[in-house]
Structure 1
Amino acid sequence: MLKMFARAAGVLLGTAGLALMLGVSPVAAQERLAIGGSVAGDLVDGDSTLSSGEYVDVYTFEGRAGQQVTVSMTSGDVDAYVMLRGPAGFAEENDDRDAGLTDAQVSVRLPANGTYRIQATTYQPGETGRYRIAVVEGGASTTAQGGGAVTVGAPNRGQLLDGDGRLPAGEYVDRWILNGTPGQAYVAQLNTGDFDAYLFVRGEGLEADNDDDTSGRGSTNSRLEFVMPEDGQVVLSATSYRGEETGAYTLMVDEAGTQTASVGTPVSGGRLRLGQVVNGDLAEGDSTLRSGEYTQVFTLSGSAGDQIDLQMVSANFDPYLFITGPDDFSAANDDDPSGENGVNSRLIVTLPSDGDYQVYATSYAPGESGDFRLTANRASGSAIAQAETALASRVPAFETGIDMNGSLADGDQALPDGEYADRYTFQGRAGERIALTVESGQFDTYLFVRGPGGFSSDNDDGPDGTNSRIDAVLPADGEYTVTVTSYGPGETGRYRFVAGPSLGTPRQAGVQGGTRVFAVMVGISDYGGTGDLAYTADDALKLAEALRREGVLNPASITLTDADATVDGVREAFAEVAAQAGPNDIFLFFYSGHGAQHPGSFNPNEPDSRYETIALRDGEITDTEMAELFGTLDTRLAMIVLDSCFSGGFARNVVSRPGVIGLFSSEEDLTSQVAGKFEAGGYLAHFLRTGLSGEANMDGDDMITAGELTTYLRRKFAAEVSDVGAETIDGQRSYQNLVVDRGGVQVDDVVIRIAAR
């Protein structure tokens, strides 16, 4: 959903003042409908329009929480498009009811009591003609398969198809209702070989999401564990990682700890037992890892302390073996560490807990296929000793360290996107503080490290621009793999790599902790009934709660949402909070809502002759006015975070003095989308909150630096937003990109001290 007054947001254009200023038509009249009724309508020249030119009629009806409703729009004259909006930021829309047809249909279970708004419009601007809108109680009559009541302990099969309901970001979705025992723990797994699965659960006081399993080479299936809330009902949404993905899937739900129909049962492979030899075949049509390798998945039941010897042998491809399980357990092996088994794979592991483990039989490189043999046995004492000896002789320890020169060159192993990579493996100990640096004058370095328990840390730019540095506290004993690579594909050249224990005092140890964040947080979902957005007011409220929970939010901070977020209200809040923030403090201005762009006279700060604004309830604040507000600050550090369309245009105005960081959800000429998948008003808002809540604390020292925060945000945008569409105000299409402007703030400058973990 675009965070501007645009058709893609599924809303009509703003307040009357904003509508006139942006050159759009006035708000459409609304006609009431009763559930079970229908009405004929006519889209004609002179009707109200969405900003991209489609005519629109608006209807409302009253619904109740949990009610299943189907809204259909049929027409022989136009390609129908129907959008449904309601309380608590509810949003659904549909273009084609069935593949190849031009009718539209939305079938949903309503989340709350209240008034729901139907917008009857067209797929293309300027289409006119007659149509009929019908609202009925119950599910849709459609070719889409999936959704309904969950059967616990048995496969619930469905399909994502054209014609299914969609999330605001465009992914097809089937919703399943699970009625269960309050307080009971459940496990849900979404399995498919047709698309990259995404599963989320919502209930009273419950929200949880999962994309892939916890392994660094994890499958594209999804798995969630949750506790049933007090009302005994949750909604499980089966969807995909990207828009337009379709295919068959199986949803397995079981009570945690039961064995009736294990939710760990993979799409292919079956159950693996100790002493068993499995002859398998990797082939086209098997499930694949995200990086393209075919895989077969086997379920192995084990107990805490079991020592297991897994071996995978093939004469047709280079085997790769890994295992995941309870307590975020994961281990992987490319080649037998003893060196006696060539390129075949062998894993000797000690299981941490009782439960089901998933054993992935796959290949080292994408697309490899052929016969293989997989065995699972209890590990003998000699095998364990041999593995430990081989590992100790092969892998240096971080405390020993390394200082060496290397080079990236044609012919090196390459990452999936084409970057050459060198890998180094170390032994680490829980609690050990390490420092890793890569320096090069010939290419832009990129450094990342992976280890036990899903440990992961990345860095692009270190203190010297194109060099990289990682400071980390290791979470567990075990083997860690460090990858030296480049920021862009195909880069080559020499580098110096230094790894070892971190010495000296943690950076900026003198930065004071406590309630040092003085914040003005603004979020607007309710624009008076027109131009409304989903979740954006919650962005401000959730950020305030997260900072308060971390013990960093000063009580002088102010949160403004919806009707309170006026131009004067924001200016007064800014002045009030800024006056109380001193030279040891950080000032944060956060905004989630609509943004706009307007033509203006040329000046050096606006080379495109356009200026950008944030749209408040009764008017706008421009980028120039925001710069004037920031000019009144006297703080150690200041941050402006805008999650709105065209927000990147604020960078050159506001980030013009020392000590200011700017984070913007999109470039200055592009729109931003609502992050419906995360039930957030924007991707930047969501990841800022999770980052400042501790996820950006990459080195575990409880100080989040500018480098850690921006690296975390860039990584999250690369993973979650790289294929999210955006467009210019003239309708040119592109993709949403994060804009970071650190100005004079260094990567090692501390943003906040969070509560000690």
Structure 2
Amino acid sequence: MAAWSLFVVDEEAEFTIDLTSDVFDPYLYVVGPGIATMLRNRGADDYAVTNDDGGEGLNSALCFEPPRPAEYLVEYPAEYRVVVSALNAEVGEYRLRVRSGCRTRVDPEGNEDVTFDLWAVPVTDTIRRGVIEQGEFRSIGTWDEAGGPVESWVLPVMGGERLAIEMRSAEFHPHLTVVSRSGFYAREAGDVLGREGRNMRVTREVSNNDGDGLAWDSRVCLVTEASEEYRVVASSYRRGVGRYGLLVAEDPDGTLCGQANMSTDRYFELLEELPTETRSIRLGESVEGVLGLGDAKDPVSGDPIQAWAVDRIVEDEWVTVEVNSDAFTPTIDIASDDVEELTGQSSLCRARAQFRMRGSGSVKALVSAQSEGEVGAFTLVATQGAGAEVLLDPCETTDGLEIGYEVEGRLTAVRDKAAWTIAAAAGDTLIFQAGSEEFDTRLEVTGPGGLLIGDDDGGGGTNSRIEMVIPRDGEYRVAVRAYGVTTGLFHLSVIRRR
């Protein structure tokens, strides 16, 4: 094992680190300030950025993006350690190179990026329905952009089929991708969707790593739209090798798949068919509703969804529809062929859609929850015209606070910030203090003229404290947030220094 120092001066820098050897299988990792915290926040229980075979063959290559100082409290310039090691206790000469910029895969000459096209993967064979097709990854063959083995199979389909495609292996961790020329519908959490909306995401690839109920095996569920030849691309997580099986099964009643991916057009056809029952809202109205488990189901996710008719829309006029909830993180979708433009914004407890129509009449506004299983009460508001370009975060409680008093509050998964307003006079010296036994508090004070002051741990431990001289008369706003874990009780006080 050998360690090299990498001094990072620019916090925005990115590096490609290559480790090659002709005599042993190299293993590369990077350690240093902020890395362990960054990896934990990304869901990885590790202390180092690592790579085994990300380069050509058994060589190692990784993209190193140093932790950002604002998120991980790293001060630059900073020193990181690039550690060289070998698998299987091997020894010998090696070459280590660090270059600016990130390249996920390097060509044999070592300089240019290689783009990886799934359609270019050589075809192994055509998959037969209901038959377990056998494949095998070996140490030689076609490799994907992560340095792992990959094989492609042809799957002919007809329109209107509902299929479950599975990849299983007892020897490595399989990863399955289905590629279509026409593309599949896919939705990001919190998106506002529309056939012509900016936030709609259409991808030509649908992937799965660990299928529901399959442990580490993979499953992709599809609803086909037309006759076409898909590519079923088999690969392995962390570059494993060994034998695997592929199975394509018809799943007309959804027994195998709780949800399926489908084309954008078909998805919106199903959304437009959702019944509004007696639910309607006119422009200028605000109505109360409850999203429940007994409501209609989203055609893709299977989660509860409610359709509301938005009436009295005038051609080519902007309309804003908002949904607010303290019970769940809401999404708002607009389903109509006549939408000319659509934009959307969202936060933890609020979602907004703004759109223009080609004609007059009504559209369907679809209320659902961002996370699986969430239900509860909500408020729906429809107004004529476009709202503010920036959606101010409403996930907070705001009340008046008097100098000399202390208040208590609670942050929840939906209400991630609590705020109070306070009247202050120029020249006063005020001390704001926030603390909690359940989370690390962060305190913010804003005021006239764009004033913003923040503090994390100025109150000792994980508590917060701000002492300031009020620059001008006016209304100030003090807010409590959490750093990291976002739930729990807290206390806030404001006193005047005599």
State if a TM-score over 0.5 links the two structures.
no
Whose strand fraction is larger, Structure 1's or Structure 2's? 2
* Greater relative CO, 1 or 2 (CA 8 Å, sep 6+): 2
Q: TM-score, normalised by structure 2?
A: 0.35
Whose helix fraction is larger, Structure 1's or Structure 2's? 1
Q: TM-score, normalised by structure 1?
A: 0.26
